[in-house]
A = this chain, B = another copy of it.
Amino acid sequence: MAVTIKDIARRTGKSITTVSRALADYDDVSPATKELVRRVADEMGYTPNRLAQRLQKRRTETIGLILPTFGPRFADPFFSELLAGIGNTAASYGYDLLVSTQAPGEKELETYRQKVQGGQVDGLIVVRTRRHDKRIDYLRKADVPFAVFGRTEDALDYPFVDEDGEYGMQLMVEHLVDLGHRRIACIAPPPHLMFAHYRMLGIHKAMEKAGLALQDELLVVGDLTQRGGYQQAERLLDLSPRPSAIIACNDLMALGAMSAAQKRGLVVGRDITITGFDDIPMAEHAHPPLTTVHQPIYKIGSMVCDMLLQILSGQEPEERQVILKPKLIVRQSSGAVA
């Protein structure tokens, strides 16, 4: 059995109270006693039982993160980097990170409820928002501290970090138009996702501004994976005339699209332009390197975690709602029209 505070009390001849207070460095314990208690605790290899501490303190010092996994092939570099950002920040404040995997759907809210009401977490981080997000409705109603990566279409009265996808896509379209592209296609994300909305909005607006329109046949929806990008790109490449540029709404789909184009013998960046969004590490090392919009994923994870921790500590966060301005990263996958 693990050594408890009681064991230390017995061994030092002090009371449980005194031991507890000595370890917590209260000043109604004499220096000598503190010294003694600490030495004995060390000798006996004492580690506080966090469960008991938490039960008593009514705070868990744990934040929850529920990852929207989709089936077995969930190799999204995006999430591992986000996780690193959140995890490292949480750890630096002594907080634990409870990660659940749960596909979006029926049981999802139940998972949130359980973590919250079961007192397993002090707060939650919500990622990949939907346009109308029941998770946020629930958390708001239940008065649970939370912070969000992304926005929703409903009242934005909660703390969030998001990147300005609309602006990012405007930059991208302007870039393509400057290169002479007119017949521009798009592989969109599933439309219920909020970031899909903003990115598409940016595309539509910028196209319109350039006197263009996104034609129906040039708009397809992909599932955000590389395979999905590949499949949807094939459909676009079958059209004639072929689009001269394909805007994929995330890097993974862009890489898939590049692969589809190259399979047909097209040289990406010359015969066809393909662009992404996110700037995952792979984008830089793709062949050709991918033109994309940068999103500081690690930093976003870190920021959103910081926000939540500030709320949990009772402060109002310095910045409650952050929208980051993205940067366009021009590489070789985009080129002038032939």
Q: Which residue numbers of A lie inside 8 Å of B, CB to CB?
A: 2, 45, 47-52, 54-55, 60, 62, 67, 69, 72-81, 83-85, 87-88, 91, 96-102, 113-114, 117-120, 225-227, 230, 255-256, 258-259, 262-263, 280-282, 284-289, 297-299
Contact = CB atoms under 8 A, between A and B. Distances in A.
Contact of A113 (B47, B80, B81): B47
Contacts of A226: 281-282, 284-285
B78 A75 contact: yes
Contacts of A48: 118
Q: Which of A74, A78, A258 has the most CB of B within 10 A?
A: A74
A76 B78 CA distance: 9
A119 B75 contact: no
Nearest to A45: B117
Contacts of A54: 51
Contacts of A67: 83-84, 87
A153 to B, nearest CB: 28
Contact of A287 (B73, B81, B97, B287): B287
A286 B298 contact: no
Contacts of A85: 72
Contact of A101 (B87, B227, B256, B258): B87
Contacts of A52: 55, 119
Contacts of A280: 75
